[in-house]
A = this chain, B = another copy of it.
Amino acid sequence: MIGRLNHVAIAVPDLAAAAAQYREMLGAEVGAPQDEPDHGVTVVFITLPNTKVELLYPLGEASPIRGFLDKNPAGGIHHICYEVEDILAARDRLVEKGARILGTGEPKTGAHGKPVLFLHPKDFNGTLIELEQV
């Protein structure tokens, strides 16, 4: 069911510093910051040959990243995103097997403009998993 690893998302306390670090210390291809007000984050995309890393920084008071950074002031890996072909079929399979979907259980439009769902980290080894339909 799951396909490619679409991205690894890392919440960071200083977006400019983290972007500079990936560019200058790690020598990666680092994009410009993009505000995603609908998702409460500013994102910097790091393009690797086979996948992406997304650096996340809170945007607005209701940002879903703010609480994570309060608990992890140095930052940390926030979630990983797996691609699926059919997000409703994926959801139904997961729910049938006992997994919990965060929120309403209905897909939302994610930061890449595609339908996404998040799975409950307590059901998946403490790992927040995003599923994105591609």
Q: Is the CB of B5 within 8 A of A28?
A: no
Question: Interface code A55-91, partner B: CB below 8 Å = 1, 0 otherwise?
Answer: 1000000000000000010111100101000000000
Say yes or no for A117: interface residue by CB 8 A criterion: no
Q: Is the CB of A125 within 8 A of B48?
A: no
Say yes or no for A94: interface residue by CB 8 A criterion: yes
Number of interface residues of A (CB under 8 A): 41
Residues of chain B lying within 8 A (CB to CB) of residue A55? 125
A8, B7: Cα distance in complex, Å: 10
Q: Is the CB of B4 within 8 A of A121?
A: no
Say yes or no for A126: interface residue by CB 8 A criterion: yes
Which of the 9-residue segments A10-18, A33-41, A103-111 touches chain B?
Answer: A10-18
Residues of chain B lying within 8 A (CB to CB) of residue A113? none
A-B contact pairs, 22 of them (CB 8 A): A1-B27, A1-B28, A2-B27, A2-B28, A2-B48, A4-B48, A4-B49, A5-B5, A5-B48, A5-B51, A5-B53, A8-B8, A13-B125, A18-B125, A21-B125, A25-B98, A72-B126, A74-B125, A75-B126, A76-B127, A77-B77, A77-B80
Name A's B-contacting residues (CB within 8 A): 1-5, 8, 10-13, 18, 21, 24-28, 48-51, 53, 55, 72, 74-77, 80, 82, 93-94, 97-99, 121-122, 124-127
